[in-house]
Chain A
Amino acid sequence: AQSVSQHNHHVILSEAASLELGCNYSYGGTVNLFWYVQYPGQHLQLLLKYFSGDPLVKGIKGFEAEFIKSKFSFNLRKPSVQWSDTAEYFCAVLHNAGNMLTFGGGTRLMVKP
């Protein structure tokens, strides 16, 4: 069964610091990759996605992620975080043979003002 690992469970940063959240998955076939964000008290929202093409994808609010197929990774980055980025971030994988999203355990990010 495919699995998704997010190695950082809790991250605390100061404003303007750079962010990189790790995501690795186990499925070997063709995959679609997603990062979702859950702000406090709000529902899961799509941050960005990769289906095909340029492995460096840009999302909303200055976030980007890079798909590295050889490393089975899809890490999320942001050059300079803001207090409003405080949220929980979930990496998810949809493999083309299936229809379900497999989520990682989430990373809780706190940005100190």
Chain B
Amino acid sequence: ETGVTQSPTHLIKTRGQQVTLRCSSQSGHNTVSWYQQALGQGPQFIFQYYREEENGRGNFPPRFSGLQFPNYSSELNVNALELDDSALYLCASSWKGGADTQYFGPGTRLTVL
């Protein structure tokens, strides 16, 4: 069974740029959730994708957007990067639209300069 994978591992961007992060879900899972983990804090829910549709969103602005593909992999896009977007971005996959255990990937560390 393949676990959740994310790419890239690390990324450095400057303010105002755009970034795309990628996630491959664990085999057999059809739901992907994205979380932002700032240094020293717990992860915060950004949004979830289930069957290629957004299935819930946390308190993040519209410049955070996403996609899910037919193979259930997902992308997180962030436009107009701000310094406060520097964080670890975690992807989690699950079954049944998220009402089940979520399994996390290793994360992408984004630094915005």
Residues in A lying within 8 Å of B, measured CB to CB: 4, 32, 34, 36, 42-46, 49, 90, 92, 94, 96, 98-106
Contacts and interface: CB of A to CB of B under 8 A. Distances in A.
Contacts, number: 58
Nearest to A34: B101
A106 B103 contact: no
Q: Which of B40, B43, B44, B98 has the most CB of A within 10 A?
A: B43
For this complex, into which size category does the number of interface residues on chain B fall? 20 to 34
A74 B88 CA distance: 26
A39 to B, nearest CB: 12
Nearest to A104: B42
17 contacts: A34-B101, A42-B106, A43-B107, A44-B43, A44-B90, A44-B104, A46-B103, A96-B99, A98-B56, A99-B97, A100-B45, A100-B48, A101-B45, A101-B102, A103-B35, A103-B44, A106-B42
The 4 closest A-B CB pairs, nearest first, are A103-B42, A99-B98, A100-B45, A44-B104
A49 B99 contact: no
A105 B48 contact: no
Contacts of A34: 101
B2 interface: no
Would you call the interface of chain A mostly helix, strand, loop, or mixed? strand
B33 interface: yes
B55 interface: yes
A102 B45 contact: yes
Nearest to B44: A103
Nearest to A4: B42
Contacts of B43: 44, 90, 101, 103
B54 to A, nearest CB: 11
Contacts of B56: 98-100
A96 B99 CA distance: 7
A6 to B, nearest CB: 8
